[in-house]
Homo-oligomer: A and B are copies of this chain.
Amino acid sequence: MTDLNRRHLLAGAAAGTAAALTSFGAPTARASVAPAGAQAPGFYRYKVGNYECTSINDGARSFPLPDTFVTNVPKDQALAAADAAYMPKGMVTVPFNPQLINTGSKLILIDTGNGVANLEATKGAVGRTLQNLAAAGVDPKSIDVVLLSHLHPDHTNGIRAADGSMAFPNAEIMVPSVDWAFWTSDENTAKAQTNEMMKNYFANVKKTFAGIESKVTKYDWGKEVAPGITSIATPGHTPGHTSFAIASGNSKILIQSDVTNIPEFFLRNPDWHVVYDTDPDLAQATRHKFYDMASAEKATVVGFHFTFPCIGHVEKDGAKYRLVPVAWNPVI
């Protein structure tokens, strides 16, 4: 199969000598290269007009599909959708992707991922936002605004560093006023104690924002919450769930946040309900409204739970929708 050449002969001779000296197994023709054992950094840059945006991968979690992951269809239908998307057998894979927007005057991080505290516990599956920001050359101290779409843990918990201090110490933390009112209400917290998931959500908001409540800025819908960034009402997933339009020059993209959870399930089947929705019927209505608008506009849509780099176009496909991911651009 191979021709011996001078290099092979020399390497063989050297290996032979080493083997004679150490007696460690059979000599090989030459030293092999150790596997790297790690993935490439998970960041991807794209332009919106004059704005330089970066999709930051916080990771992806695969877990056995819970019986109730989709609340309104039989589990075998959900399993079939996972299988059709080549997810690991019997499992579902959920990715997480915050977005960094450099407007030229402000550096804005939209959502923060699961938090670096989860990195070790998940064997590196999630909590990668800080390391992928570092790979992209971004100093957490340089971030001016952390703009949260809603107050679920996979979006908020990255505001804390591993030691509990603020991961983005110079950033203003902006939250949707409706979500803030909902998740910090003592009355709502009390009502949620019988539902394990909701109970944990309320406890997580309390813990995550403990001591910084007064530093949090509340924003409303339909406002320019940061330069060129407009908040869009997309309630249902949570009461104050928010999407964003990013506009610069003649360009615009839509950051959908969690209008769907994973598109393989809920964009293909917009009437399926994910267990995490506070008001699944409203989330479903929001989904149709948002995607009908996005597909009519041929808008570029960024999805927090789309697979990295999590950017694509949404098209109507009868009563369903389909996602056409963007092609990787080697230059920006």
Q: What residues make up the interface of A, taking CB atoms closer than 8 Å to B? A: 1-3, 5, 7, 28-30, 32-33, 35-45, 52, 54, 57, 59-60, 85-87, 93, 95, 102, 104-107, 123-126, 128, 135-138, 142, 144-145, 170, 172, 215, 217, 219, 223-226, 307-309, 313, 324-332
CB-nearest residue of chain B to A122: B331
Q: Is the CB of B44 within 8 A of A39?
A: yes
Residues on the B chain within 8 Å of A45, using CB: 36, 38-40
Q: Is the CB of A39 within 8 A of B123?
A: no
Q: Is the CB of B7 within 8 A of A170?
A: yes
Q: Is the CB of B2 within 8 A of A172?
A: yes
Interface-centre pick from A33, A105, A106, A325 (highest chain B CB count, 10 A): A33
Residues on the B chain within 8 Å of A124, using CB: 330-331
Interface-centre pick from A54, A105, A309, A328 (highest chain B CB count, 10 A): A328
Count of identical protomers in the assembly: 2
Q: Among the listed B107, B307, B330, which residue makes an inter-chain contact with A33, where contact means beta carbons less than 8 Å apart?
A: B107
Q: Is the CB of A35 within 8 A of B223?
A: no
Question: What separation, in Å, do the CA atoms of A219 and B44 have in the docked complex?
Answer: 38
Question: What separation, in Å, do the CA atoms of A144 and B32 have in the docked complex?
Answer: 9
Q: Is the CB of B172 within 8 A of A60?
A: no
Question: What separation, in Å, do the CA atoms of A43 and B42 have in the docked complex?
Answer: 10
Residues on the B chain within 8 Å of A85, using CB: 324, 327
Interface-centre pick from A35, A87, A106, A223 (highest chain B CB count, 10 A): A35
Q: Is the CB of A1 within 8 A of B327?
A: no
Q: Is the CB of B331 within 8 A of A39?
A: yes
Q: Among the listed B36, B38, B332, which residue makes an inter-chain contact with A37, where contact means beta carbons less than 8 Å apart?
A: B332
A89 to chain B, nearest CB (A): 12
Q: Is the CB of B2 within 8 A of A32?
A: no
A-B contact pairs, 23 of them (CB 8 A): A1-B225, A7-B170, A28-B105, A29-B105, A32-B107, A33-B138, A35-B52, A38-B45, A38-B332, A39-B44, A39-B329, A39-B330, A40-B40, A40-B41, A40-B44, A40-B135, A60-B327, A60-B330, A85-B324, A87-B327, A95-B327, A307-B327, A309-B328
Question: What separation, in Å, do the CA atoms of A85 and B325 have in the docked complex?
Answer: 9
Residues on the B chain within 8 Å of A123, using CB: 331
